[in-house]
Structure 1
Amino acid sequence: MQLQFLGTGAGMPSKERNTSALVLKLLEERGTVWLFDCGEATQHQILHTTIRPRKVEKIFITHLHGDHIFGLPGFLSSRSFLGGEDALTLYGPKGLQEWITATLAVSKTHLTYAIKFVEVEEGVIYEDDQFIVRARLLEHVIPCFGYRIEQKPLKGELLIEKARNLGVPKGPLLGKLKNGEDITLEDGRKVFSHEVTASPKKGFTISILGDTKYCEPAKVLSDDADIVVHEATFDHTTEHLAASYGHSTNVEAAKIALESKAKYLVLNHLSSRFLPHDIEVLLNQAKAVFPNSFIAHDLSNYEWKNGELFEEQ
């Protein structure tokens, strides 16, 4: 699994940061990617990456402020031009379907694929045999959701030497054991899957929060998460101002990660008032509260590997 930030700015684009967009790459897990928010010029940012728009199977919108959705019509259109044929599911607050439908109709945009709209409410909004996604309302100036993505436990690896010692030959029987099936050998002996497989491995949990002030729902979504992606529109000197606009400071985001016992924190959605030389100060302030903190930059790519988060350089 990888996380790549396409836009990490707040409100409007700057020379350093585009507006909000984040890709969750699940290429190894399911051969697709999920997009969270789609600010203006998201498709331009994608041109600087290896992301293929036709691989995007789900888009999750946190809220309907322009810096989180103005890139969506263009992206949907380009996905058609680039050979997208597989259906796409679009999750978001009430009003998203109306806006997209009207925009595509007025602009006479024809898509080569179907869109399934899911109007998000609190609770489980998606589940299959690999993942479960939960949503919860945060505290912003308009309805805004945070998303918690939980990977279900992974099957334990096959202990090949142990299986071979029990007489299991090379071939499809090993695959059946790995998939949890018990088998019968030619001599009539049964070999049980649990005897030759390791214990299931815990999957990863990511909390991707939209715009929000410091609040309890953010902690609930982030509870024991491996990675929390949290906005940091303001710094710790403007806490009251941040709250009045429905936003958080860098230190408040760090407190959410600390209090929810998360493993890593990645800060994004930074105001354009912060210049490049301010970023290290903001990061150090967050680290003083929660040491495993990062600040994302546009096109930053993070890899989750063996229970650790690495920023690609």
Structure 2
Amino acid sequence: MEVSFLGTGAGMPSKQRNTSSLVINLAAEEEGYWMVDCGEATQHQLLHTTIKPRKINKIFITHLHGDHIFGLPGFLGSRSFLGGDEPLDIYGPPGLNEWLMTTMRLTKTHLTYTLRVHEITEGILFENDHFTVTAKQLQHVIPSYGFRLEQKPLLGKLLIEKAVAAGVPKGPLLQKLKQGEDIILEDGTVVRSQDVTGDPQKGFILTVLGDTSFCEASIELARQADLVIHEATFDSEMGKLAADYGHSTIVEAASVAKMAGANALIANHISARFLPGDLALLLEQGQAVFPNLFIANDFSKYALQDGRVIEL
């Protein structure tokens, strides 16, 4: 699993940071690419990456503020122009469908693919063979959601020596055992997958939070997560301002990760008042509470490998 940040700013674009968007690369997990938020000029940011719009098959919108959705109509149209023909599912707060359909109707935007807009409430958004995605409402000035992506347990590794000892020949039967299927050999012997594979492996948990003040819902979504992505609009000196506008300081973001027992934290949604030279102080404030903390910049890329978050 990899996360690419396309926009890490707050409110409006600046010279250093575009508005909010990130892409989760789940190709290795057989789920393609999922986007979270699509602020203004997100498709421009994609041009500087290897991510193809037609590869994105799910979009999660945290809330309906412009810096999180104004890039969506353009992205949807360009996905058609660039050969996208696979269905696209969008999950977001009530009102998203009306806004999108009105925009596309008035601009006569034609899509070459099926667009499915799911207006969400708290609870499980969807579940398939690989993942469960859950949403909770956070604490912002308008309804804003956080998302918890839980990968289901992975099949244990094939113990090749045991399989061979059981009489399984090399070839497709080994693959079936690896995929959890029991097999029958030519002599009628039944070989059970569980007898020749290791214990199931724990899947990862990724939490992505929309704009929010410090709140219990953030902690619940981040509980025991391998990686939490949390806004950090302000520094520790601006706690009142953060609360007034429904945002968080970097210390509050770090406190959420600590209280949730998370493994790693990436802070984003950084106010334009903080220039590149200010990031060291922000990082110091956050790491004093939660040491395994990163601050994302536009085009930052992180991977989850063997339970550790590394910057690529």
Class of the TM-score when normalised by the shorter of the 2 chains = over 0.9
2:123 partner letter = G
* Identity across matched positions, percent: 60
1:11 equivalent to 2:19? Answer: no
Between the aligned partners of 1:193 and 1:264, the Cα distance in structure 2 is 34
Between the aligned partners of 1:109 and 1:151, the Cα distance in structure 2 is 35
Secondary structure class of the residue paired with 1:289: coil
**Cα distance, 1:304 vs. partner?**
0.9
Secondary structure class of the residue paired with 1:57: strand
Who is 1:204 aligned against?
Answer: 204
1:157 partner letter = K
Between the aligned partners of 2:186 and 2:129, the Cα distance in structure 1 is 33
Deviations 1:251-272 (A, max 9, x none): 0000000000000000000000
Between the aligned partners of 2:190 and 2:103, the Cα distance in structure 1 is 61
Query: TM-score, normalized by length of structure 1?
Result: 0.98
Pairwise mapping of residues 162-311 of structure 1 onto structure 2 (< 5 A)? 162-311=162-311
**Cα distance, 1:179 vs. partner?**
1.9
Between the aligned partners of 2:138 and 2:26, the Cα distance in structure 1 is 26
Who is 1:42 aligned against?
Answer: 42
Write out the 4+ residue segments of structure 1 that deviate beyond 3 Å after TM superposition.
none
**Cα distance, 1:181 vs. partner?**
2.1
Query: TM-score, normalized by length of structure 2?
Result: 0.98
Who is 2:78 aligned against?
Answer: 78
1:131 equivalent to 2:131? Answer: yes
Deviations 1:265-313 (A, max 9, x none): 000000001011100110111111101000000000101111111101x
- Asked if 2 retains the 8 angstrom alpha-carbon contact of 1:31 and 1:55, the reply is no
Between the aligned partners of 1:183 and 1:47, the Cα distance in structure 2 is 47
Alignment coverage as a number of residue pairs: 312
What is the Cα-based RMSD across aligned positions, in Å?
A: 0.9
Deviations 1:175-226 (A, max 9, x none): 2211222223233333221111011111110110000000000000000000
Who is 2:26 aligned against?
Answer: 26
Deviations 1:52-104 (A, max 9, x none): 10011011000000000000000000000000001101110011100000111
**Cα distance, 1:31 vs. partner?**
5.1
Secondary structure class of the residue paired with 1:33: strand
Secondary structure class of the residue paired with 1:38: coil
Secondary structure class of the residue paired with 1:278: helix
Unaligned runs of 5+ in 1: none
